A and B are shown apart, each in its own frame.
Chain A
Amino acid sequence: MNVSEVIRLGFGALKERRTRTILTILMVMIGVSLITSLDGLGAGFDNYIEEQLNTLGANVLIISSSEGGGGGGFGPPVQGPETKLTSQTVRTIDRVLGIENTVPFYRGAVTIKSGSEEKTISVTGTDQSKLKYITPKISLESGSFVSETDNTGIVLGYNVAYPADLDRPFAKRGQIVSLISFEVEETGGGRQTVKEKKKSFRVQGILEELGNSQVDNTAYISTSAANSLLNKNNIYDGIYGITRDADENEEIEERIRKIYGKNIGIISPKSLIELIQEIVGTFTAFLTTVATVSMFVAAVGIITTLYTSVLERTREIGLLKALGYGNRTILFMFLTESMTIGILGGILGILTGVIGAVLLGRFVLSSFGGSGASALNPVFLPIELIEVFILALSLSIIAGLYPAWRASKLSPINALRKE
Chain B
Amino acid sequence: MKSKNNKFAIRTTDLKKIYLTGLVKVYALNGINIEVKSGDIISVVGPSGSGKSTLLNMISALDRPTSGKILIDGVDITRLNDKTLSKFRNRRIGFIFQSYNLINRSSVKKNIELPAIVAGMPKKMRGKRVSDLLELVGLKGLENRKPTTLSGGQQQRVAIARALINEPAFILADEPTGNLDSKTGNEITDLLCEINHKKGATIVAVTHDLEFADKTRRIFHLRDGLIEKETEGFSYNEACKRA
Instruction: Give chain A's interface residues, CB within 8 Å of chain B.
Output: 1-2, 5-6, 9, 12-13, 15-16, 315-316, 319-327, 329, 411-413, 416
A323-B90 CB under 8 A given contacts A1-B118, A6-B117: yes
Distance between B187 CB and nearest chain A CB, rounded to angstroms: 23
- Contact residues in B for A413 (Cβ distance below 8 Å): 57, 62-63
Which residues of chain B are within 8 angstroms of A321 by Cβ–Cβ distance?
86
With known contacts A316-B103, A413-B62, A324–B57 Cβ distance under 8 A:
no
Cβ-closest chain A residue relative to B115: A323
Q: A5-B113, A324-B86 are in contact. List 7 more A-B contacts (CB 8 A).
A: A2-B120, A319-B97, A323-B90, A323-B162, A326-B87, A327-B86, A413-B63
Q: How far does the alpha carbon of A320 sit from the alpha carbon of B90 in the complex, in Å? A: 10
Task: Please pick, from B82, B114, B115, B120, the residue contacting A327 in the complex, using a CB distance under 8 A.
Answer: B82
| 0/1 interface trace, chain B 78-108, chain A, CB 8 Å (1 if under) | 0000110011111100010100010101100
Asked if B12 CB lies within 8 Å of chain A CBs, one says no
**CB < 8 Å: which of A2, A5, A323, A327 contacts B89?**
A323
Q: Taking the nearest CB of chain B, how far is it from the CB of A389, in angstroms? A: 30
A16 and B105 in contact (CB under 8 A), knowing A324-B90, A413-B62?
A: yes
Residue of B nearest to A411 (CB): B63
Overall SS of chain A's interface: helix
B97/A324 in contact, CB under 8 A: no
Say how far A27's CB is from chain B's closest CB, in angstroms: 24
* Option from A13, A322, A327, A411 in Cβ contact (under 8 Å) with B60: A322
In the complex, what's the smallest C-beta–C-beta distance from A326 to chain B, in angstroms? Answer: 4
For the complex, give the distance between the alpha carbons of A313 and B87 in Å. 22
User: In the assembly, what is the distance between CA of A53 and CA of B222, in Å?
Assistant: 92
Residues on A with C-beta less than 8 A from B90 are 323-325
Sorting the interface of chain B by its residue count into under 10, 10 to 19, 20 to 34 or 35 or more gives 20 to 34
Question: CB distance B95 to A323 under 8 Å?
Answer: yes
For window 152-190 of B, CB contacts with A under 8 Å fall at 162
Report A-chain residues with C-beta under 8 Å of the C-beta of B88: 324
A310 to chain B, nearest CB (A): 15
Ordered by A's residue number, 6 sampled pairs between the chains whose C-beta atoms are within 8 Å are: A1-B118, A2-B118, A2-B120, A322-B62, A322-B95, A324-B88
Taking CB atoms, residues of chain B closer than 8 Å to A411 are 63
Q: A325–B103 Cα gap in the complex (Å)?
A: 15
Residues of A within 8 A of B243 (CB): none
- Residues of chain A contacted by B1 (CB below 8 angstroms): none
List of A residues within 8 angstroms of B97 by Cβ = 319, 416
| Interface contact A2-B95, CB-CB below 8 Å | no
Contact among B57, B106, B118 for A325, CB-based, below 8 A:
B118
Selected contact of A324 from candidates B63, B91, B101, B106, CB within 8 Å: B91
Any A CB within 8 A of the CB of B119: yes
Is the pair B105, A15 in contact by a Cβ cutoff of 8 Å? yes
Which of A15, A16, A323, A327 makes the CB contact (< 8 A) with B118? A323
In the bound complex, do residue A322 and residue B89 qualify as a contact, i.e. CB atoms below 8 Å apart?
A: yes
- In the complex, how many angstroms separate the beta carbon of A278 from the nearest chain B beta carbon? 55
Kindly list chain B residues whose C-beta atoms are within 8 Å of the C-beta of A324: 86-91, 115, 118-119
Q: How far is the CB of B167 from chain A (nearest CB, A)?
A: 13
B110 to chain A, nearest CB (A): 8
**Most chain A CB within a 10 A radius of its CB, from B57, B82, B113, B118:** B118
A5 near B86: Cβ-Cβ < 8 Å: no
Q: Give the chain A neighbours of B118 by CB distance below 8 A.
A: 1-2, 6, 320, 323-326, 329
User: CB-CB < 8 A to B103: which residues of A?
Assistant: 12, 316, 319
B165 to chain A, nearest CB (A): 10
